[in-house]
Amino acid sequence: MIGRVLILSSLLLLAGLAVGAASAHYTPGTGDQFAYNETIALTNGAGYYQGYTESTVINGSLTVTAVAANGTESALYYNANSYQNNSGGHYTWTSSGRFTFSAQTFLYVKGTDNLTGYTNPYVWFLMDNSLGAGGTFYILNTGMTVVATSYSYALDTAAGTYVKTIFTEGNGSYGWNDGTNEFTANYNWKAYYDPGTGYIVGYVYTEQDSDAAGDGFTYTDTLAVTHTSYTLTPGVAPPPSSGSGGGTNWTLIAVVLVVIVVIVVVIAVAASRSRRRHPIPKHSATGQMSYAAPPMGPPPPGINLTPSGQPAVQQIIIKETVKVNCRYCGSLIDTTATTCPFCGATRS
């Protein structure tokens, strides 16, 4: 009986160890690195934002530089940014720095990779890769749910390689103001992570902002890795969609023509109503939106139509005099003349 108990206890212990090993998540190591391309855009403007667009393109990278015994990870980030809007605003800048995060709690410990407006946020670039379907976690301040653990994702490369990912999704809303009106933002966040390491592979964040006056716009933030120091798991491309065969697709042609007309109208409206507005902020679930006007250069010099070194042109007014025919010789003479200068006859 004692022997059977010992055997059963041993089996339970081994089973517990197996479950523990299976649930252990990847711990980032020194030298882990990924590079990514991110595009943030404001489109579909309404009301005050009608016809207005702007975008920011970010080429970034993140590198783990050290791992402490307590599980705190040191990391370095670098971003090269380019901003532009359809009102003529354009500028570029870079940002870089160091921060630490926890490989156990997935929280930032000291500093962040240039995030603002968040309170005690979770990291966005790493998740617990041992979570199964239905598991929950956080990106920054947004709750996410694991939808699938084997989702094929198309990498942002020329080859369009597919890799296996953990597909997660979250939704939320928050309020913010532009200094005049109160806006409500509703968003959806789809994020894809490497099942082998838990590092980000890509995400699509879509947000719709609107206020009671009918002003609003669509805000999108799309990110995809372009390089990793670790090997991603190959995925399978989805099967091609079956078409309806040959022949002219008049419906498609009609749709294309309508789209072209709409684009022309939007461009015309944008040209007539474009004006400089605040640049869009990074998405935030806290409502602490920080607007910063783009740095502008010095104002252009005033226009001077008078060439340098020459006196200003004086205005000269020429008065026209009406002429009539002489009743005797037929010559044209001024109506102010008392006698004809040609035949000498008087005008009376």
Model confidence at 11: pLDDT above 50: no
- Between these two residues, 256 and 225, which has the higher pLDDT value? 225
CA 49, CA 209: separation in Å to the nearest integer?
Answer: 11
Report the distance separating Cα 13 and Cα 332, nearest Å: 127
| Residue in 277, 294, 288 with CA at minimum distance from that of residue 116 | 288
Closest listed residue to residue 127, CA positions, set 187, 76, 169, 186? 169
* pLDDT tops 90 at residue 243: no
Least confident of 117-121, 153-157, 194-198, 268-272: 268-272
Smallest Cα–Cα separation from 128: which of 103, 110, 156? 103
**Domain residue ranges of the chain, discontinuous segments joined by +:** 27-238+262-273, 322-348
Q: Using the predicted structure, report yes or no on whether residue 38 has a pLDDT greater than 90.
A: yes
Is the pLDDT higher at 138 or at 264? Answer: 138
Per-residue pLDDT reduced to its tens digit, 63-108: 999 999 888 999 999 999 999 999 899 999 999 999 999 999 999 9
Cα separation of 205 and 113, whole Å?
18
Position with higher pLDDT, 87 vs 270: 87
> Residue 251 corresponds to which amino acid?
T
Least confident of 136-140, 215-219, 246-250, 338-342: 246-250
Question: Is residue 282 scored above 70 in pLDDT?
Answer: no
pLDDT score at 7: 37
Asked whether residue 257 carries a pLDDT value surpassing 90, the answer given is no
Using CA atoms, how far residue 234 sits from 10, 104, 150, 196, in Å, is 38, 27, 11, 11
Q: Out of 17-26, 111-120, 330-339, which region has the weakest mean confidence (pLDDT)?
A: 17-26
Question: At residue 274, does pLDDT exceed 50?
Answer: no
Distances (CA, A) of 69 to 32, 74, 109: 17, 12, 15
